[in-house]
Amino acid sequence: MIHQTINIKGKLVSLDTPLVMGIVNITPDSFYQGSRKQSEKEIVERVQQIIDQGGSIIDIGGQSTTPTSTLHTAKEEMERLAPALSIIQREFPNAILSVDTFYSDVAKASVEKYGVAIINDISGGQIDNQMFATVANLNVPYILMHMRGTPQTMQQHTSYNNFIQDIIFYFSEKIAHLNSLGVNDIIVDPGFGFSKTLEQNYELMAHLKYFHIFDTPLLVGISRKSMLYKPLEITANESLNATTVLNTYALQSGAKILRVHDVKEAVECVKLTDKLNKYTPQQLIY
């Protein structure tokens, strides 16, 4: 078994048992209506729910990343995030917060003013070329995701020479660059739904174990995405069971963090998969 940890504010957090990251979207246009929280009451209730249901990390986003969304500036994003971060910092001072942003200024303010512990950058440092240096200076864990272009243009960039090899190469280059700057706590997110066709998402899921080559924790975020509900001809609101199925597969493939809307169900996935993994095939022979 590979033992992995991440450094959260000077404390090593073990990933031997995978962690669940609960989503809080401070946006009016997130693709999943159930995750949109804007009033103080809604934000407090949502964070409390994540904690009560066993979530370990609160991931807060101030910008929708669907292809039909509007790209907001760093200033607009921070104006949206600041009140929510302030509320959470006040009401949940011990919570581990992650901010979902591709802007270095937002990352810096979130960590320095509001105690955010993790930066979750869907662009892999491509939208803001100061992000890597900023994360190095902040000395916080960095979630490095694979995407091409921007959320608005990403689905125009789904042509690859060799799909899996190209993504592996992307991460190898980015991780080397981050390491050269002194960033050691890197979490790899293959980027399901970003710059990938529906079939490519399933090819990626089938090859998750390839990403262990980097010896970094692996984050999987497939919660209620179209790759789940389109093949089943259902809606995002109806896709909890589909999410659970592939979260279970991801855990069996070595995922260490699940980013989800439905925390209780993901925590149950972790508990049962963890229990199953304690038994080797030899022990199951009677």
Give the residue numbers annotated as catalytic, written as ranges: 225, 259
Q: Provide the 8-state DSSP code for 284.
A: G
For residue 259, CA distances in Å to 80, 265, 267 come to 21, 12, 11
9 sits in the region (left: phi over 0; alpha: psi -120 to 50; else beta) called: left
Burial of 130: CB neighbours in 10 Å, binned 0-12, 13-18, 19+: middle
- Asked if 210 contacts 168 with a C-beta cutoff of 8 angstroms, the reply is yes
- Asked if 86 contacts 93 with a C-beta cutoff of 8 angstroms, the reply is no
- Asked if 219 contacts 225 with a C-beta cutoff of 8 angstroms, the reply is no
Phi and psi at residue 58, in whole multiples of 5°? -105, 115
